[in-house]
Chains A and B, each alone.
Chain A
Amino acid sequence: MFFQRLTSVKLGAAFAAALTVTAVPASATECIAPSNPGGGWDFTCRTIGRILSELGLVDGNVQVTNMPGGVGAVTFAMVAAERPDDADLIVATSTVGITQIAQGRYPAPLDAMRYLAMLGADVGVIAVDNDSPIQTLAELNAAMVEDPTALVTAGSSGAGGWDHIRLLMVAQAAGVDDLGAIRWVQFDGGTDAVTQMMGGQIDVVSTDLGEIAGFVESGDIRILAALSDDPIPAFPDIPTAISQGIDVTGYNWRGLYTGGQVTDEQYASWVERLETLYNSENWQTAATESGLVPIWRGGAEFEAFVREQAEVMEQISRDIGVIE
């Protein structure tokens, strides 16, 4: 008797689970997050999807699908092969995805997709421990120019990943010739890298500000430069690299692409709707609350920006020997 009751409870649970994964209306707008729930791409889809329907920019709700694999490559391949002309499909991407494409790690080239817009960005920063003798970006650059191997640098990406590349962009602008000589250590996140820096294992961290902002507030680490055009609203005292004579920006932007064969009309309609969303109170609040700086680039301007960024990444990856 007890067993029967238990079975029916379990079956009910299984059935409910089955319903939640299969109940997708055929005509709904879909946003694919090419990662597991919880990451940055997942946030992009869930937040934008929610606000799109709040503002009535789409019919009904936006179905968010998680399709992890190959740092976005699985989704990229699927869209290229099966849904290149599906105008109801948008996919979350970011600088990380473009890095993968620039290094030839996706199964199709950059122009297999149409890039819609970026709506916000995490700002890259260069940080040292609060006890570090290095006080300014100029001092750091001087040390790297004198001996590129002197300092151990680290961040949340591997060699040739975005954290590494934007540090090298700074070093290159400062006049370091042998970029490959700079020691780089990968950690599983900006927080890990900062913790290791506080423990004295490494000297410099290059990563997104969002994840490590808490350490800045607590005074454990010191930011030498923000890699943004303008000072970061939440931390107006942090100088930008540009203001210190190093003309480098390093945004980790969050944006969307759609299939490469959607019509110009459908593409323009998406850009217009996303711009409305970007200008809404809902998005500005949601983005700021999660540590992003709202930034808009859309349509043709954004496509040009993506292409240019991919070229810079490809060049530096070649310089340091990550790709041939």
Chain B
Amino acid sequence: MEILSLLGHGFAVAMTPLNIALLLLGCFIGTLLGALPGLGPVNGVAVLIPLTFAFGFDPTSSMILLCAVYFGCMYGGRISSILLNIPGDEPAIMTTLDGYPMAVQGQAANALAISGVASFVGATIAVVGLSLFAPVLARAAIHFGPADYFALYILAFATIGGIAGVDPRKTLLSALIGLLLATVGIDPISGVPRYTGDNYHLYDGIEPIVALVGLFAISEILMLLEKHVRDRPKAIPVGSWLPQWGAIWRTRAAMLRGSGVGFVAGVLPGAGASLGSFMAYVTEKQWSNKKGTFGKGDPRGVAAPEAGNNAASGGALIPMLSLGVPGSGTTAVLLAMLVSLNVQPGPLLFERQPDLVWGLVASLYMANVALLILNLPMIGIFTRLMMTPTWALMPVVAAVTFVGVYGISNSVFDLEMMVFFGVVGYILRKLDVSLVPLVLGLLLGGDMERNLRRAMSISDGDWSILIASPISIVLYILTAGFLALSVWLALRDHRQSQAERLTEG
């Protein structure tokens, strides 16, 4: 009941004309960014963050806009997966496995409709879960001491393996670079500057927003510059726009199973939407691939991963808001933005800023309805926009990032930093190193170190404090379980990706 009244209050916050306008804009931009091959939720949100600073939106409005973009990307990613066989973003990879074959068989309209509805089901279940579980978790989090937070960060890093996938050495390398970068700046505990080269600009450490925009937005521009600008992908014509409702209804069980699996994957700190869609697909295949139809255009193989990735993206907001530990790459970016706006996510956020939390939750309910409408009847618009040539798109992205980042701090040094990180991001991506572990390392490394040292100051140097509380013991057990699971998944993934290579080849 209490939650209903808080949610009611949230709707009142979300229903201002500005917030509704931002919500619709975010949904539209998000679907488009998701559909455009290459630009995904992390890049999309990273590009838009500086703009929200430049316009001076308050934290609630900024979050509504960016979360609408985030959810929109999750809906939009499936469009190019199905029609082009190119995932619009990372989590949509699994949707290509059955979505594209369906399109080839002339079932494009059905595939799009099924995945649209599945996205809605997954995202809505996640938002319901968010409204129910996040406050509970926030209340429990009051009992988290420094040693428990340290254990939580360990869990977050252990689950990175799940997102970044194929080569564990590269994941590790990327996470280590992030941790290394996190040590730059004045150490808040002792006040000693570290790795700053006596440059005062580095005393506050590496500004995560600047690094993120560089890593994701600038490197994306460089990546796309490299491709042949006239190379336009060929889409499969959708044909009849009217989906068969019966086909959608038959996948309802797959949608629910996918949502459940995806949601759990999302709530785990560090795991994220890619893992959500992957697990949802694998589980569904295990469950219902009786006739070997998966991979050949089985509608359930479209429904499950789409429900899964949308449920995971909503679930990932739970640890971010209630513990201050992001559940995915995109929520890491959102976290960095909140911190820059002087909003500290964590257990007290729910008490101190109910407007922000519940306004955001309410707006996510609204966003899902808006996205369902955008993604079913208006799907034709996006399939056409998806063909936007990159030579026209990228200058806009470049202008927005430079103007926006300068607008945050009025600092040329930040622009140089952003370009530097753009080049670093480009090099790492060319080497097939995922950037998400780097971002998590940069973002969590400082807090992880500080909480370890806080625990040590409390215990006066006695290491046993790290395993002294039941919370940390449970977290370490979860970590061990998750590491075992990702080893098992990595073996499967290996076979899976070989199979993919064969079909793509």
Residues on A facing B (Cβ under 8 Å): 2-3, 6-7, 10-11, 13-14, 16-18, 20-21, 36-39, 65-71, 73-74, 77, 103, 105, 107, 149, 152, 157-161, 183-189, 191-192, 195-196, 198-202, 214, 322
Contact = CB atoms under 8 A, between A and B. Distances in A.
Contact of B458 (A77, A158, A202): A202
Given A159-B189, A199-B144, A17 B51 contact: yes
A67 B411 CA distance: 7
Interface in B190-218: 190-191, 193, 200-204
Interface in B390-436: 392, 396, 399-400, 403-404, 406-411
Contacts of A7: 392, 396
Contacts of B186: 70-71, 105
Contact of A74 (B189, B203, B344): B203
B145 A196 contact: yes
Contacts of B458: 152, 183, 185, 201-202
Interface residues of B, number: 53
By Cβ-Cβ distance, the 7 closest A-B pairs, closest first, are: A70-B203, A38-B342, A17-B54, A70-B200, A201-B145, A21-B407, A73-B200
B183 interface: no
Interface in B467-504: none
Given A73-B200, A160-B191, A192-B344, 8 more contacts: A2-B384, A3-B385, A6-B32, A14-B403, A105-B193, A186-B457, A195-B142, A214-B352
A215 to B, nearest CB: 10
Given A74-B203, A184-B457, A67 B399 contact: no
B410 to A, nearest CB: 6
Interface in B208-249: none
Interface of B: 32, 50-51, 53-56, 142-146, 186-191, 193, 200-204, 340-342, 344, 346-348, 352, 381, 384-385, 388, 392, 396, 399-400, 403-404, 406-411, 450, 454, 457-458, 460
A10 B401 CA distance: 12
Contacts of A184: 457
Contacts of A6: 32, 385
Contact of B55 (A17, A186, A198): A17
A186 B188 contact: yes
A158 B400 contact: no
25 contacts: A2-B381, A2-B385, A11-B396, A11-B399, A14-B399, A17-B55, A18-B403, A21-B403, A36-B409, A65-B410, A69-B203, A69-B204, A160-B190, A160-B191, A183-B458, A185-B454, A185-B457, A186-B189, A188-B450, A191-B352, A192-B346, A196-B145, A199-B144, A201-B145, A201-B146
Main secondary structure of the interface of B (DSSP, over half): helix
Contact of A17 (B190, B202, B342, B407): B407
B384 to A, nearest CB: 7
A74 B403 contact: no
Q: Is the interface of A mostly helix, strand, loop or mixed?
A: mixed
A189 B385 contact: no
B181 to A, nearest CB: 17
Contacts of B32: 6
A69 B342 contact: no
B396 A10 contact: yes
A43 to B, nearest CB: 10
B142 A198 contact: yes
B457 A183 contact: yes
A68 B344 CA distance: 18
Nearest to B389: A3
A21 B410 contact: yes
Nearest to A8: B396
A36 B336 CA distance: 13
Given A158-B187, A186-B450, A186-B454, A199 B54 contact: no
A191 B144 CA distance: 14
